[in-house]
């Protein structure tokens, strides 16, 4: 393991080490990717926790129920693995695969202004939530917002009319009183 950060662009958190697994230094990983095993496609990880940054290399991994079990290069001790609990797993943004037109990574949507069909500013996208039926956009008020309400909007075609990353806007068909 390398204690110095990789010279790369911006990083995206794609998972988190939650604990040690077994006695041979494997770690349990909670993945933020969909499907969860997409995380295993990234071999070089930047680990971050409380200002500490480390570089590690994934040797192998496997899905086990709703988590992943990963083996990292030069890590073969349970106590060393346990010490990695709480580290975020990050990869450079430029290592993400390109998406087809009209599809977006969640991190691209965060911060967009949300404007309804009447031109009213609801606020900015704070984050998204994954639910069973559909993803949900959490919109928090900002300077110039219609009001000071937080709104939860479904991330579905009937609601989201357009997304313009260049102008930083998402247009929605949603009742301001709902």
Mean pLDDT of 49-73: 96
* Confidence band of 1 (pLDDT split at 50, 70, 90): low
Q: What average pLDDT does the chain have?
A: 93
- State the pLDDT confidence band at 155, using cuts at 50, 70 and 90: very high
175 pLDDT more than 60: yes
Tell me: pLDDT of 176 over 50.
yes
Is the confidence at residue 5, as pLDDT, over 90? Answer: no
> pLDDT above 70 covers what percent of the chain?
95
Q: pLDDT-derived band of residue 123, with 50, 70 and 90 as boundaries?
A: very high
Mean pLDDT within 118-132: 94
Confidence band, pLDDT 50/70/90 cuts, at residue 130: confident
Preceding peptide of 50 cis, ω within 30°: no
| The pLDDT of residue 8 is above 50 | no
pLDDT of amino acid 171: 98
Domains annotated on the chain, with CATH = 11-95 (2.40.30.60), 106-172 (2.30.30.240)
Q: How far apart are CA 54 and CA 36, in angstroms?
A: 22
State the pLDDT at residue 3.
46
Mean pLDDT of 15-32: 96
Query: What average pLDDT does the segment 98-117 reach?
Result: 94
3-state secondary structure the chain: CECCCCCCCCEEEEEEEEEEECCCCEEEEEECCCCHHHHHHCCEEEEEECCEEEEEEEEEEEEECCEEEEEECCCCCHHHHHCCCCCEEEEEHHHCCCCCCCCCCHHHHCCCEEEECCCCEEEEEEEEECCCCCCEEEEECCCCCCCCCCEEEECCCCCEEEEECCCCEEEECCCCCC
Confidence of residue 86 (pLDDT cuts 50, 70, 90): very high
């Amino acid at each position: 393991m390398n204690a110095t950060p990789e010279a790369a662009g911006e990083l995206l958190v794609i998972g988190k080490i939650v604990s040690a697994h077994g006695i041979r230094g494997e770690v349990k990983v909670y993945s933020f990717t969909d499907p969860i095993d997409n995380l295993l496609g990234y071999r070089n990880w930047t680990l971050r926790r409380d200002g500490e940054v480390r570089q590690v290399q994934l040797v192998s991994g496997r899905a086990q129920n709703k988590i992943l079990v990963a083996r990292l290069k030069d890590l073969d001790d349970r106590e060393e693995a346990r010490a990695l609990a709480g580290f975020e797993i990050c990869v450079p943004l430029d290592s993400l695969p390109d998406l087809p037109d009209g599809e977006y990574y969640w991190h691209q949507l965060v911060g967009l202004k949300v404007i309804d069909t009447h031109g009213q500013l609801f606020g900015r996208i704070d984050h998204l939530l994954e639910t069973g039926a559909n993803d949900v956009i959490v919109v928090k008020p900002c300077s110039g917002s219609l009001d000071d309400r937080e709104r939860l909007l479904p991330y579905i075609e009937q609601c989201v009319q357009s997304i313009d990353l260049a102008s930083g806007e998402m247009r929605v068909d949603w009742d301001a009183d709902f």
